[in-house]
A and B are shown apart, each in its own frame.
Chain A
Amino acid sequence: MFNSLEPNKIFAITSRAPKYVLFLFVIVFSIGLTEALFLSPEDYKQSHSVRIMYVHVPSAWISLGIFSIIAFLSILSFIFKNKNFPLISKSLAPSGFVFNIIALVTGAIWGKPTWGTWWAWDARITSMLILALFYSMYLLSWKIFKNDEKAVKISSIIAILGVINVPIIKFSVNWWSTLHQSSSVKILSTTTIHTSMLIPLAIMTAAFTLFSILIFLMKYNTELIKIKNKGLDRL
């Protein structure tokens, strides 16, 4: 069923793709930065501090998205015993973690002029911090357990347990009365953000997605070469 996803078959693509993805990322990111820093309007309430949204929101979205993919692949690897899924998950985790940290740090920077504090034990912020802890545990499990099978099992359990936190993060602003504002960009109902801000946000999200794909490809290729190195030892 997943034969076409065999590492040996897709290495030809994954080894060539990074340079094209990097090229695309540089173009989209440059446009995004120009829009976000210079062309987009300031907010009538938050003034220029609203520009932090263009790095904070895409980072939060991508870190949540990556963790959800990792958990989904972990469930699949348990069911189908596919060896490539843990490899994909392991390669996705570093960029997901870094985006999580960016979301927390830029959120704190945004919080100071908006709320008057760098940090609050608010439901959204705290659940994002818990996500960072799950990312840390996931990455550490690959470092600690040298036995690959054990590492796959432990890291998958961490990812599956951690994904329970994802809907909590998403709906925390609706379930609890929090300091963090509710979502302005909605899929199922009308988005409450103006197009002049929505376009830069979309461009920055595209750029951040390209960056995470780039890191994923580089990490995935590294992991494949690592496996081949072990193979050479056995010859």
Chain B
Amino acid sequence: MINEIFLMNGYGIYVWSAFSFTLMSFGSLFFITKLQFLKERRKFVQKFGLLNGEAIRVAKSQKINKQILEGVLSSKI
């Protein structure tokens, strides 16, 4: 049974390598995209922290900025 699943009448090497390549590509693309997202968000938080006075008031007035910061808080939980 196990042999049949892995060997697949001699085609196992082709089938498993095609599926493995697909899975590896999915994994790599997901982690690279995730890393890019986290890097940009970290940069945003750092820049936001450096703002002062009027600049912080203007930045906070934008809804999307609040949503990005909320995302940071909720992802830490």
Contacts and interface: CB of A to CB of B under 8 A. Distances in A.
Given A52-B18, A55-B22, A215 B30 contact: yes
Given A110-B14, A235-B58, A235-B59, A225 B41 contact: yes
Interface residues of A, number: 45
A102 B25 contact: yes
Contacts of A42: 8-9
B17 interface: yes
A224 B29 contact: no
A20 to B, nearest CB: 14
A229 B50 CA distance: 12
A15 B44 CA distance: 15
A98 interface: yes
B74 to A, nearest CB: 9
Q: Is the interface of B mostly helix, strand, loop or mixed?
A: helix
Given A102-B22, A218-B34, A222-B36, A228 B5 contact: no
Interface residues of B, number: 37
Contact of B33 (A48, A101, A219): A219
Interface string A199-235: 0000000000001001100110110111011011101
A211 B29 CA distance: 10
A222 B37 contact: yes
Select the residue from A15, A214, A232 with max chain B CB neighbours within 10 A: A232
Most buried by A among B8, B34, B55, B64: B64
B19 A15 contact: no
Contact of B14 (A52, A214, A221, A229): A52
Interface stretch (A6-14, A81-89, A153-161): A6-14
Nearest to B40: A225
Given A113-B14, A222-B40, A232-B47, 17 more contacts: A33-B19, A37-B5, A38-B5, A47-B11, A49-B11, A52-B18, A55-B18, A59-B22, A106-B18, A215-B29, A215-B33, A219-B37, A224-B64, A225-B37, A228-B68, A229-B47, A235-B51
